[in-house]
Amino acid sequence: MSDKEYQPKSKAGKWFNDRLPLLTLGAHLTDYPTPKNLNYWWTFGGILTFCLLTQIITGIVLAMHYVAHADLAFASVEHIMRDVNYGWLIRYIHSNGASMFFLAVYIHIFRSLFYGSYKSPREVIWIIGLLIYLLMMAAAFMGYVLPWGQMSFWGATVITNLFSAIPLVGDSITTWLWGAYSVDNPTLNRFFSLHYLIPFLILGLVVLHIWALHVPGNNNPVGIDIKKPSKDTVPFHPYITIKDTFALLMFMIIFAGFVFFSPNVLGHSDNYIPANPLVTPAHIVPEWYLLPFYAILRSVPDKLGGVILMFGAIFILFVLPWLDTSKVRSAVFRPIYRQFYWIFVVDVLLLGYMGAMPAEGIYLVLARVGTIYYFLHFLVVLPVVGLLEKTDPIPLSISEPVLSGGAKLSMAKKDNEKF
């Protein structure tokens, strides 16, 4: 490890670094050898860091004005929107920021699925990432409850009632979560407390995620192991930092587009009606980023079965590195898997659409087909394709063309550019 050889130039720097090697860490992050062929799908790690910091900063500011009480919460959010200086801006950044966060994380996850970034030796990075994703969903759900509108209240009711499906102890667990006999003020209070906590837990996991990443180093579009540092790598700074910054700016344009031109398009208008425990809105839908799982929940005609499948859809991702039997990482060299990958993408989008539609008629049928395929993809397609598929020749390094021709590598490059 070349990191160990780092020596600060100044005497004061050396004095400090001998006591706390922060400068060594900084040098490691700056010089960190990165595959030179990373495409723009690899910029979402940086974008996600930005999203997390945005949510933390805007969240801390909102908490200065928000009141976590069933009688006051709704009014305090309106107070933020109307009275607090720039309150509308900060709240719209925070609420749309959640959607942007999920947009980025889904691209990040699907990038990993395409290029096989979850495979050995990066399983731990993948699992930590999934833990972050779970915490994100918990934080987003609790955050959505805080304005105490109709969707807040009934979303909280439906989601907490999922736990009542657990045999024997289900009702006790639900009452314990509520702190009352229904979703009520104690529920709102604790959700606020946890909503404030979770982002910092995520921040801690992000550190572990990056730490685990820096052990084997980045995967890359070709998916092969590379020597580091070598002619296949470039230092993180300035090559990757500038690329990440450019992508982040593009992302921020889209983000700002939502915040300034259609800040409520991703939300639900029913949440501007104060919570009413006597009236359930006609269509309860979660935020868009939870819709595929909601579709799976509703597609099962049995309460416990639906809950099990919904959680199963997430937890099956934890064993993905062991379900995919192919040693080849990148889908660029996996002609069969590549097709199933896109079918899977369409399947998840379909499930998301079905989750937004009423659970009846053709929608229910399609949701069931989508649910079955979702699990087939992991339990049948991935293990079987990995064993039977004849993969394309893999290049020996990023710089050298495969065998003599190099046709495949140029194909790979074209493939990347398309994204």
Partner 1 sequence: MSQKEKKTNRRDFLYTASYTVGAVGLGAVIWPLIDQMNPDKAQKALATTEVDITNIEPGKEITVLWRGKPVFLKRRTPEEIAEARSVKMDDLPDPQRDEERVKEGKDEWLVMLGVCTHLGCVPLKNKGDYKGWFCPCHGSHYDVSGRIRKGPAPKNMEIPKFEFVDNNTIKIG
Please report, as ranges, the residues that interact with partner 1 according to CB under 8 A.
Answer: 154, 157-158, 160-162, 164, 175-184, 186, 190, 277-284, 298, 300-304, 306, 358-360
Minimum distance of partner 1 from residue 274's CB (angstroms) = 15
Cα–Cα distance for residue pair 259/193, rounded to 1 Å:
26
Minimum distance of partner 1 from residue 84's CB (angstroms) = 30
Cα–Cα distance for residue pair 411/419, rounded to 1 Å:
13
Minimum distance of partner 1 from residue 296's CB (angstroms) = 13
Nearer residue to partner 1 within complex by CB, 65 or 303: 303
Minimum distance of partner 1 from residue 270's CB (angstroms) = 12
Pairing of the two strands 33-35 and 233-235: antiparallel
Minimum distance of partner 1 from residue 353's CB (angstroms) = 17
Nearer residue to partner 1 within complex by CB, 24 or 164: 164
Nearer residue to partner 1 within complex by CB, 54 or 157: 157
Radius of gyration of the chain (CA): 24
Minimum distance of partner 1 from residue 367's CB (angstroms) = 12
Cα–Cα distance for residue pair 225/8, rounded to 1 Å:
31
Nearer residue to partner 1 within complex by CB, 301 or 393: 301
Nearer residue to partner 1 within complex by CB, 78 or 184: 184
Nearer residue to partner 1 within complex by CB, 193 or 245: 193
Measured from the Cβ of residue 414, the count of other Cβ atoms closer than 10 Å reads 10
Chain-centre distance for alpha carbon 106:
5
Minimum distance of partner 1 from residue 154's CB (angstroms) = 7
Nearer residue to partner 1 within complex by CB, 302 or 400: 302
Nearer residue to partner 1 within complex by CB, 358 or 405: 358
Encoding tokens for residue 190? 């604790």
Max distance between CA atoms of the chain, in angstroms, equals 74
Minimum distance of partner 1 from residue 302's CB (angstroms) = 7
Minimum distance of partner 1 from residue 100's CB (angstroms) = 28
Cα–Cα distance for residue pair 265/410, rounded to 1 Å:
41
Nearer residue to partner 1 within complex by CB, 280 or 325: 280
